[in-house]
A = this chain, B = another copy of it.
Amino acid sequence: MARGNTRQRIQDVALELFAEQGYEKTSLREIAERLDVTKAALYYHFKTKEDILVGIFEDLTRPMDELIAWAGEQPRTVETKREVVRRYQVALRAAAPLYRFMQENQATVRELSVGLTFKERMVTLTGLLYDDDFPVKEKVRCISAVFTLHAGTFFMQNVEGDPEDKHEAVLEVALDLIDEAHRAS
């Protein structure tokens, strides 16, 4: 019935379940049942369970890696950093389920040899936002900017208001933190 898209469908369902219940608690049986295929079919498309996750990562973290690569090539100006923040928010929204999964399953992700881990990626990213000679407090502000963006994706559901307005507000706070950090340095 469905054609060559089974591989994709597996990844979609898997990510959904991984994000909802965690990686360890999600069994291949569950994924297979949801897709109405047998477990063995999953093994036609992926070598192992971990492989399914790795595949998802490879597809979904590319934007963030590209962002990091792009930032590395730009002049280290405030404006660059503001742009990094803007683009990071976009990347975050695009891959929200994956980031939710990454954040909530760090113990699992840590053991996966899946390129850079969540934390490593964040270390690199935050490193792009401040300079080595910043005072500690201003480094903290830059880190805070990134965490604010994360909070915006995972936590702001609990605040009432129009989603677009909230995203706008989150972005402004993050940019303010970057600005303030540079003003004080």
Which A residues have a C-beta under 8 Å from some C-beta of B?
A: 19-22, 24-25, 103-108, 111, 119, 122-123, 126, 135-137, 139-141, 143-144, 147-148, 150-152, 155-156, 158-159, 161, 165-166, 169-170, 172-173, 177
Does the CB pair B20–A169 fall under 8 Å? no
Contacts of A126 in B (CB 8 A): 158
Q: Name the one of B25, B108, B111, B140 contacting A173, with C-beta atoms under 8 angstroms.
A: B140
Contacts of A147 in B (CB 8 A): 144, 147-148, 150-151, 155
Is chain A's binding surface mostly helix, strand, loop or mixed?
A: helix
A150 closest partner in B (C-beta): B147
- Using known A-B contacts A25-B108, A105-B104, A107-B21, determine if residue A152 contacts B169 with beta carbons closer than 8 Å: no
Does the CB pair B173–A144 fall under 8 Å? yes
Contacts of A105 in B (CB 8 A): 22, 104-105, 107
Does the CB pair B148–A144 fall under 8 Å? yes
Does the CB pair A159–B144 fall under 8 Å? no
A101 closest partner in B (C-beta): B107
Besides the known contacts A25-B108, A103-B103, A140-B152, 15 further A-B residue pairs in the complex with CB atoms under 8 A apart: A21-B107, A22-B107, A24-B25, A25-B107, A104-B106, A123-B158, A126-B158, A135-B169, A136-B165, A137-B173, A139-B169, A140-B148, A140-B159, A143-B148, A147-B150
Contacts of A143 in B (CB 8 A): 148, 151, 155-156, 159
Does the CB pair A166–B24 fall under 8 Å? no
Contacts of A107 in B (CB 8 A): 19-22, 25, 104-105
